[in-house]
Amino acid sequence: MQEKAAKVNQEIIKKFISIRAHSEHICKPLEIEDYVVQPVVDVSPPKWHLGHTTWFFETFILKPHDKNYKVFNEQYDFVFNSYYESVGARVVRTDRGNLSRPSVTDVYHYRTYVDQHMETFLKSNPLCSEVIELLELGLNHEQQHQELLFSDIKYILGHNPLFPVYSPAAVLDEYTDLSSEFIEIAPGIYEIGYQGEGFCFDNELGRHKVYLERFEIAKYPVTNRQYLEFIADGGYTDFKFWHSEGWEWVKENAAQSPLYWHYIDQKWMNYTLAGLKDINLNEPVCHINFYEAAAFASWKGMRLPTEEEWEVASPEIKWGERWEWTNSAYLPYPGFEKAAGAIGEYNGKFMVSQMVLRGASVATPKGHSRATYRNFFHPRHQWQFMGIRLVK
């Protein structure tokens, strides 16, 4: 029995080390100045992500469960707490980029300190199920921040007039020659929501029945080629394709293309993590907000899928390159329950004024997503790797 527990712990430690190392690997190409800036409220400095994910393990595992643990720095609660009211006061979000201290070096020392204590703690036998669950949550949380690191680094570099290259090898897309095939789904009662033994977030639980009318869903997401047709046809200049809020957004921002597109010398260019490039016409369109996705669908005479339709169709469609906007508001599933304590603040309190995105993106760590995963953002957000799938 003890041998089995030791083996489980070894596997957990291996996973812990590998996921923690990946966050630092993502930051490897950065210059020290890139770690610190916060160009807009939604984009956190990479330094903050590295500290905050470390704080998560320190706060929710080491402090309450390891009686030998001594906190690295008492003030870090204030600096690296994101939104946990139960944990206490914290730096306002807009100020994350105003903090030159703790330095990047300090943050890396913090990571090493917490990692060493975590490894020592995890080697102790046996781990209770509460700790194992918190560890799984902490690792999935770190993976969510790995995707945010990519999005935020892209925003930081992509809004610099020098268009710096993150990595010449950062080619994240695979699709070519996408067809416009649609798949028919028969009307009927289906079940959605997570079931199984593995990890899922609380917002996926409460597997339940849904009734769907017949629909047809695109096998592939919308490409840059298709999106260019929308732009060329005056998609951004005709109110009738847009929600009222979306049209306000277009006017306020003088929007005329996806984020990171630049019209240079009579042609559209695209800032990528490998630098400014020609538009790859066969790539799924990226960095689209909900308003744009809905306007494109309306221009096509089609619509976006609901999250129920998306999940039911997921085994038959090609997904994983873009988070796909759905036409579903982010709401609790039947029977949804918040966990007790601070962890209960993880998902539930964001279930208002946001739309669900399904799938995964090229920036999502491998193995992190699944067909029942419910991502969510405000309709105006473009900076994640977001795209469009059509339904008719």
- Return residues touching Fe ion (CB under 5 A): 82
CA distance 278 to 270: 6
Residue 91, both tokens: 């730096």
Shortest gap between Cβ of 199 and Fe ion (angstroms)?
A: 16
The closest alpha carbon to 95, from 141, 46, 45, 53, belongs to: 45
Q: E strands along 17-174, which residues? A: none
Work out whether the CA dihedral 376, 380, 382, 387 comes out positive or negative: positive
Phi/psi of residue 143, nearest 5 degrees: -65, -35
CA distance 101 to 321: 36
Shortest gap between Cβ of 148 and Fe ion (angstroms)?
A: 8
The closest alpha carbon to 351, from 331, 335, 333, 375, belongs to: 331
Count Cβ atoms within 10 A of the Cβ of residue 174 and give its class: 0-12 exposed, 13-18 middle, 19 or more buried: exposed
Shortest gap between Cβ of 56 and Fe ion (angstroms)?
A: 7
The closest alpha carbon to 275, from 188, 137, 166, belongs to: 166
Q: Which residue, judged by CB position, is nearest to Fe ion in the bound state?
A: 82
Shortest gap between Cβ of 146 and Fe ion (angstroms)?
A: 11
Compare residues 81 and 226 and give the one whose CB is closer to Fe ion. 81
Q: Helices marked H in 28-45 — which ranges?
A: none
Compare residues 82 and 226 and give the one whose CB is closer to Fe ion. 82
Compare residues 127 and 148 and give the one whose CB is closer to Fe ion. 148
Compare residues 54 and 82 and give the one whose CB is closer to Fe ion. 82
Compare residues 82 and 327 and give the one whose CB is closer to Fe ion. 82
CA distance 378 to 29: 30
Compare residues 82 and 270 and give the one whose CB is closer to Fe ion. 82
Shortest gap between Cβ of 188 and Fe ion (angstroms)?
A: 38
DSSP 8-state secondary structure symbol assigned to residue 306 = P
Shortest gap between Cβ of 52 and Fe ion (angstroms)?
A: 6
CA distance 209 to 212: 10
Compare residues 145 and 300 and give the one whose CB is closer to Fe ion. 145
Q: Would you say 193 and 208 are in contact if contact means Cβ atoms under 8 Å apart?
A: yes
Compare residues 82 and 203 and give the one whose CB is closer to Fe ion. 82
Cβ neighbours for 63, distance < 8 A, ≥ 6 positions apart: 69, 71
CA distance 272 to 259: 11
Shortest gap between Cβ of 350 and Fe ion (angstroms)?
A: 12
Cβ neighbours for 262, distance < 8 A, ≥ 6 positions apart: 268, 269, 270, 271, 276
Compare residues 168 and 341 and give the one whose CB is closer to Fe ion. 341
CA distance 27 to 49: 10
Shortest gap between Cβ of 57 and Fe ion (angstroms)?
A: 12
Shortest gap between Cβ of 82 and Fe ion (angstroms)?
A: 5
CA distance 201 to 343: 11
Shortest gap between Cβ of 55 and Fe ion (angstroms)?
A: 9
CA distance 345 to 82: 11
Compare residues 261 and 346 and give the one whose CB is closer to Fe ion. 346
